[in-house]
Structure 1
């Protein structure tokens, strides 16, 4: 079985889009799966859905998929559709990053030239801001490492506390707060 033709791929894409729309509308998995089933006996509209779930079985005159199989197919469709959307969004974001990077190049060139030529402090500041923006855009900066320690850099001791002990500590803290008022 080779790659589906263009019309089949379009029908599958539409089925996936319909599946996502129904899930977003709060439709449960079984209802969704039956609505998108190929076999009219299974389909809730009693109309075969184009490229619906169980299409090969329907074409061969076999028993339709079980409810569990229909639900698994619907889950797979939603997963695949979300993956495709994420991929599309990632590609669009990469394209936008390239455009923004090109814009930053043009702006940086102007600010850098003024900063170096004239020693213009405002141009130096502007060039640095453009560099900082580019580093954020491209993820060039390493995250700050934060370490939490106890007094004088000692390790912090973590202990389990029972609920009644915690409530007693809270009570003590509340009394101390009231006493300092």
Structure 2
């Protein structure tokens, strides 16, 4: 792995661990659940790093946040689901953008959709295996519904950031 990739991976993991803290200080824990601040650096990392490194950024960001906060954010078992979802985000964004040469928007949206689908499937599988019945407030619809502002934030803010980074030559592809 190139030194540049290691440095950027470390930067994105640190941002992924620290950004939720800022959101929680500004608006309480509900703001973080609603705006999904940890997702932003992971998704951007997918456009700058190769797929395996972007996958690691997605997996390690929630782990580092968990360790930094003494195990309070994200709490177990949310931690495990976030590791899966964010790992998929980074990996798929990088794969779509780097290998398949898809546009920034298409790569971003596909990674977000696949991350959520995998998260949901794993969640449903685990609850079924454990024989859990969840109250309506914890249903998949409720979980997805509370994160709509964060999804909108990602779709609105990430592409302009990536286009600006592309102009500076910071992305893996300069034809984006």
TM-score, normalization: structure 2?
0.26
Greater gyration radius: 1
Taking structure 1 as the reference length, what is the TM-score of the superposition?
0.25
* Higher RCO, 1 vs 2 (CA within 8 Å, ≥6 residues apart): 2
